A and B are shown apart, each in its own frame.
Chain A
Amino acid sequence: MDKFVLSVLVENKFGVLARIAGLFSARGYNIDSLAVGETEDPNFSRMTIVVESDERILEQIKKQLNKLIDVIRVQDLTGGEYVSRELILIKVKATNAKTREQLVKIVDSTGAEIVDAGKKFVTIEESGDEHQINALIELLRPYGITEITRTGKIALQAD
């Protein structure tokens, strides 16, 4: 099983997300992540779907997506050059000054940002590719991560 990144251009109508998600669930395909938002044209949305699959099932997924009336184009970005980003928010325990100092250093060296600092926790934001984000998580893990939320990957084909 490999991970594949699909970029799917769809009509920006209600129910389209349910149609796509329903296609995956009805056929037993697993979605790793799915991120969706409006494009440069408000009539269309772009979905970035990461799926874990083999080549044969991926072929079916692409064909089934293309079959949906609201789907305009399906691009498989996996093989080619593409840029991808994901946004993550990580809440880390930070009860003393020393920890906070260390966290600031980590944030400065990785290009992340502290977006909220409370008495017990700080919340750190990072956007980057999967590798960067995973690296940050590992750096922060020893301090005690209490919550993580991530947007899922968004991707565009490189020029």
Chain B
Amino acid sequence: MAKITGAEIMVKSLHEEGVRHIFGYPGGVLLPLCDRLFDEKEIKFHLTRHEQGAVHAADGYARATGEVGVCVATSGPGATNLVTGIATAYMDSIPIVAITGQVKCTLIGNDAFQEADMVGITRPITKHNYLVKDVKELARTVKEAFHIARSGRPGPVLIDLPVDVQMNGAEFKYPRTVSLKGYKPTYEGHPGQIKRIAQALEKSKRPVIYAGGGIILSGAEKELTKLARKTDIPVTTTMMGLGAFPEDDKLSLGMLGMHGTAYANHAIQDSDMIIAVGARFDDRVTGRLDAFAPNALVVHIDIDPSSVSKNVHVDIPVIGDARKILRELNKSVKKGDYTQWHRMINKWKKELPLRYKDGKTIKPQYVVEQIYQLTKDEDVIITTEVGQNQMWAAQFFTYTKPRTWISSGGLGTMGYGFPAAIGAQIGKPGSIVIDIAGDGSIQMNIQELATAVCEKIPVKVVILNNGYLGMVRQWQELFYDKRYAFTPLDAGKCTMCPDFVKLAESFGATGMRITRKEEVVPALKKMLKTKGPVMLDVLIDKEENVFPMVPAGEAINNMLHGLA
């Protein structure tokens, strides 16, 4: 068999894995691979304007499609610019493979130009990582990397690839199977444990299903819906689980946690049995741990054993794939009589709905509601930045399908939403992709406007512009005596900094601005009709807050409601 270069082996391996899109940025030690990709027909290289844009785009692509997202960067600063995006993917269990160039093998460890120890730097934020020092190991490494990224609890894998390995020659033989002695994820749930859930359920009077991003990752949404409807148990989802259960269903409690619905938080706290599926009892969900659901028997279905009993004591753990386990569980569960329980929940729903005080100014909640109204019959994907924009987008849009909500959950990464929208749009060209942004977050990766314009990626950005780093300002208002340290973005001389309309136009995108409530619907309609990327700057009520809110360290039924 003839020898081919490492760069060629990498590309052939990517073909084997079905990769069609790569997000990246070139650089010196990545040149052999870039040069090979230049002629590539089956894989499209998407040039972002910052490596962080590339990794978030790969992540958005993965979340929208369910496939592995791929990004590349050069060594040193290129590679370190991936770190935030890799950590984002790691926290939310998103399968990506990041390929970084590295200085040649003989220079590794010598503080060479643009050298960084990427395997060392990304060790705590990857599911696994590799430094390939022998071209003969490359094909096997790529095979393993994709296998690890997408199987079990998914996550990011990094391959650090020295420039000489890209140039060295080896025969190409792509392995058919992966053999990793220490990595054998459990998929089938223990039948005895599944039986115990069904038995416990027979005694429960006030059960709640608490579903997380694991439902979406395992494709278990049908099984989850079946479980809820068959048993008549209400469902609350985490932020990562939005879209896992149709929020227009009468059994839906919406999102729980710090900015969850009051009725979800009360239901969890008053429940006598929690069925947690693919959720990890994040502190933003549990609030004060020792006061969390004091009377509930806790069932936890998760593919990752280390998630079980990490924060909350679990009575019935079941390790395995959510879809397989729920399918088994559905065989043995029965409809329960939860009339009293539903009555109580409906009372909370009626008394404490998600609401806001409408007025003359543009309320961000209203904007999100109108986005939903105008797109509910379409294939729409919402991405978000992080902060108030993210929470309003989570609360006031009604998610009914999985993979339609794309947001940085665990790490809370500002600057995520826009590049993620680009990745999602590339993965789902037929969908309407809207990034709901804040004026602070959008500035963190705004350079990707160039990517969207050049590649004619028609993402829409709605900036809920209040001139503040809004969520931090909210905390300062509530807990720091209104001392707005470093959160006003329009302080001093500049009243609107930057001018997002001119900025969008300078990149060749469409820029629009509205300041009055009656402009919201026409502007959104115009935005949706406009071809190509659009940035809509919405000047919202400057000091609007996100409610309900559980103050940090409080029990989750101890909420600030904000409205009289």
Contacts and interface: CB of A to CB of B under 8 A. Distances in A.
A75 interface: no
A17 to B, nearest CB: 12
Contact of A66 (B124, B305, B310): B305
A69 B123 contact: no
A69 B128 contact: yes
A11 B128 CA distance: 14
B123 A19 contact: yes
A11 B182 contact: yes
A26 B306 CA distance: 15
A99 B441 CA distance: 73
Contact of A72 (B181, B306, B310): B181
B411 to A, nearest CB: 15
A66 B128 CA distance: 13
B194 interface: no
B186 to A, nearest CB: 11
B328 interface: no
Interface string A40-56: 00000000000000001
A57 to B, nearest CB: 10
B128 A26 contact: no
Interface residues of B, number: 18
Interface string B104-117: 00000000000000
A18 B123 CA distance: 9
Given A60-B310, A64-B306, A69 B124 contact: no
Interface in B91-148: 119-120, 123-124, 127-128, 131, 148
A159 B358 CA distance: 74
Interface residues of A, number: 21
A59 B181 contact: no
B2 interface: no
A69 B305 CA distance: 14
Nearest to B309: A59
Contacts of B180: 69
Contacts of A133: none
Q: Name the residue in A11, A15, A23 with the highest tally of chain B Cβ atoms < 10 Å from its Cβ.
A: A15
Contacts of B182: 10-11, 68-73
Nearest to A68: B182
Contact of B124 (A11, A15, A22, A67): A22
Interface string B325-355: 0000000000000000000000000000000
Interface string B130-168: 010000000000000000100000000000000000000
Contacts of A11: 181-182
Contacts of A60: 306, 310
A150 interface: no
A22 B128 CA distance: 13
B180 to A, nearest CB: 6
Contacts of B310: 60
Contacts of B486: none
Interface of B: 119-120, 123-124, 127-128, 131, 148, 180-183, 304-306, 308-310
Interface of A: 10-11, 15, 18-19, 22-23, 26, 56, 59-60, 63-64, 66-73
Closest 10 CB pairs of A and B: A63-B306, A72-B182, A69-B128, A26-B124, A72-B181, A69-B183, A71-B182, A63-B305, A22-B123, A64-B306
